A = this chain, B = another copy of it.
């Protein structure tokens, strides 16, 4: 980095309250203003193309014992610099990412206490990131945070795509409303039946928060590099339209335990007047540290099937091996228990999935319900519940390793903890050694229910540290991690790319609870996916669950929209979630899932409006193949697909998977039409999408 100016000597002569500084984004569209207020409080504001995005907003902390660490500051040093570099992710939407930003660093000292607090702002063309830094200092070594008091003062009553503030779950459906309407809606949203809920006591929403102003400005507020700090909720002042940080506390009310010599996560504001720029933004990844793993050769994007959806369809398959519930883990001898006869993860059934995966070119088979303890799955207060290296008697782990290896397929490990986290940490090394022994290189972790230790919330500092600890420890064993029910991601997959995906939002499983709305996946890329890839587990072909039994749930999309999700919901880990029998009934449509890539050279956001529609094209990594996914909400629409991203002067064949004329998610979701068409970079496709429908296109270069 090049230091542009060193004006600290000059500033030291100034009174702190006279300090003010301005920073521009490289393209000049964004302007950050920073100053100290008359009270010596640091404040900032952000403008986009000359208009306010964030009005002057305060920064600082209240710390314990009750003390305001947000005023009486003097600026002691300031540095500005520019950085323009590129880096290559191990996997991603782009094979190369540009990180071009201007930086402003502010060092401050609080009068009276002598405590030091630094601020670092990075202004990109697509938004702002800033964080607090606590330098090592003599007068302040350890402190606890009552609250971080970062404000985001908005310019009006924006449209918001929001989840209720909650310390333990991000599985609510997204509500779309004006900020002024949140208060009247939030209580009913909070009635959502979820395994665990811990509502913020005040009016608050979660991040990533997607906003749209009346003037058509798109604003996304989130955080980057959440390490050793609680996740941020956003308090909502719905009169002044002010958001402010509300850190997830532990159950004693403490928000963060800080030792100086550390930094907070970055607070991120992605801004544009074009919604497509929000989806195209790499700002959050850019604010994360470069990859810390020396060897990443063993990390590989993965497409998988699994023994999973059958647990949700209502057909009777169970994670548990037996109906006996009086299990004492480590003591109960399962070989002496009577099997219930409908245990999903039995050797023969897993082999069917291995066969299917091998036949259709999938990399892996996820198997849930393979290990001892599931009988007590709902005993959420039970600390000693699972054994992570004890397969059920009917799951022959050695034979399955042999069989899968012979077929060229991996089995994906599953570690459901029901949030008995301290016990999972006790078993973690043994569990990873077990995985190494039996050839597993990826694990899906689960955190259903309330956390044990009982002082903790899913989104608090202790658990934030846990999730990262799992990812880092797994890396020692060359294991990829896909965490479910964990804190929402913040781009840490750049630093630890074996943390290959997360759920951390309302996934496909909620389709079986009648829980997803047609607009759901038109919003997620603007919210949940801002922090990293999601294991959404799309690909449900048989959307009418009454086919299986008593479950009356119906899928909220057409079949084709399920195909499109493989492109619109970016993830290097993609499941074909339905039963293999469902695919065998629609092998022509299934061809798209077989073909679609899971790693990309480039991504083109063609159309996007949060809550309404998304159309994305991507070029497969290292191949002259492109895949396009377009989806819409409950409203039919015509997608306009400009293929100008294709290299010029060549011919291509597009295979188009389209909603049929009678397709409708409510009445006729399986109506689809597959056609092929010759296309070039000059082609502009117009494609009708059914209500909650989609379009999926694969494009290959013609020889």
Contacts and interface: CB of A to CB of B under 8 A. Distances in A.
Contacts of A254: 454
Contacts of A456: 453, 455
Contacts of A144: 381
A454 B429 CA distance: 24
A429 B433 CA distance: 14
A426 interface: yes
A454 B136 CA distance: 26
A141 B328 contact: no
A381 B252 CA distance: 13
Number of copies of this chain that the complex holds: 2
Nearest to A327: B259
A499 B469 CA distance: 31
A546 to B, nearest CB: 32
A259 B141 contact: no
Contact of A379 (B141, B250, B382): B141
A567 to B, nearest CB: 41
A142 B455 contact: no
A144 B141 CA distance: 40
B453 A257 contact: no
Contact of A142 (B142, B382, B465): B382
Contact of A326 (B250, B261, B454): B261
Given A136-B326, A261-B326, A422-B425, A454 B379 contact: no
A562 to B, nearest CB: 39
A261 B454 contact: no
A379 B328 CA distance: 38
Contacts of A251: 251-252, 454-455
A91 interface: no
Contacts of A259: 326, 328, 379, 382
A381 B142 contact: yes
A149 B494 CA distance: 55
A422 B257 contact: no
Nearest to A332: B261
A260 interface: yes
Nearest to A381: B257
A86 interface: no
A257 B429 contact: no
Interface residues of A, number: 30
Contacts of A383: 257, 462, 465
A405 interface: no
Contacts of A136: 326
A22 interface: no
A322 to B, nearest CB: 14
A683 interface: no
Given A422-B425, A425-B422, A425-B425, A250 B454 contact: yes
A136 B328 CA distance: 11
Nearest to A324: B136
A74 to B, nearest CB: 23
A325 interface: yes
A251 B251 CA distance: 8
Interface in A306-348: 325-326, 328
Contacts of A454: 250-252, 254, 453, 455
Q: Chain B CB within 10 Å — which of A254, A325, A381 has the most?
A: A381
A605 to B, nearest CB: 40
Interface string A441-464: 000000000000111100000100
Interface in A242-285: 250-252, 254, 257, 259-261
A328 B261 CA distance: 9
Nearest to A425: B426
A553 B387 CA distance: 52
Interface string A378-405: 0101110000000000000000000000
Nearest to A135: B326
A260 B453 contact: no
B141 A326 contact: yes
Interface string A278-313: 000000000000000000000000000000000000
Nearest to A257: B381
Contacts of A260: 326
Nearest to A380: B142
Interface of A: 136, 141-142, 144, 250-252, 254, 257, 259-261, 325-326, 328, 376, 379, 381-383, 422, 425-426, 429, 453-456, 462, 465
4 pairs of A and B residues whose beta carbons are closest in the complex: A453-B453, A455-B455, A454-B455, A136-B326
Given A141-B326, A251-B455, A454-B455, 10 more contacts: A251-B251, A257-B381, A257-B383, A259-B382, A383-B462, A383-B465, A425-B426, A453-B455, A453-B462, A455-B456
29 contacts: A136-B326, A141-B326, A142-B376, A142-B379, A142-B381, A144-B381, A250-B454, A251-B251, A251-B252, A251-B455, A252-B454, A254-B454, A257-B381, A257-B382, A257-B383, A259-B326, A259-B328, A260-B326, A383-B462, A383-B465, A422-B422, A425-B425, A425-B426, A453-B453, A453-B454, A453-B462, A454-B455, A455-B455, A455-B456
